[in-house]
Amino acid sequence: MKSINPNGRPKLPEMKVKSKVITARFSLLEYENIKKRAAETGLKISQYATQSTLKAKVVPRITPEDASVLRNLSKLSYNVNQLAKKANTSGYFAAGNEAAKLYATLKNIITKLSNDWKNK
């Protein structure tokens, strides 16, 4: 694209024109930290913010499904404590069947978590 002024800089393609603004608020300490990092890289603050925003790896919040799995693990840990208590009072043979069921449940949950994390 040619500019109207023949001696001026040619216009940028429409997709490269930076026309959108995002406003963010920082504390004084956060701002000074960003300013220092930008200076260390030799960039202006806006250039540093743009590059770090576009290249940053964002860790997503926990999904409701993952939260449910974690709650189930928490419940199972309580069951493990109860099983240990029963084994100590009634003998280890009596707790064996419950331990086998608990092991199968834990194995299923761990497999599910492992598969979910591999697919992320």
User: Among the residues of 42-91, which ranges form H helices?
Assistant: 45-55, 64-90
Q: For 99-120, what is the mean pLDDT?
A: 73
* pTM (2 d.p.): 0.47
Domain residues of the chain, as ranges? 14-55, 64-118
Cα 56 from Cα 77, distance rounded (Å):
35
**pLDDT-derived band at 44, boundaries 50, 70, 90:** very high
Q: Tokens standing for 64?
A: 């409701």
pLDDT at 82 exceeding the cut of 70: yes
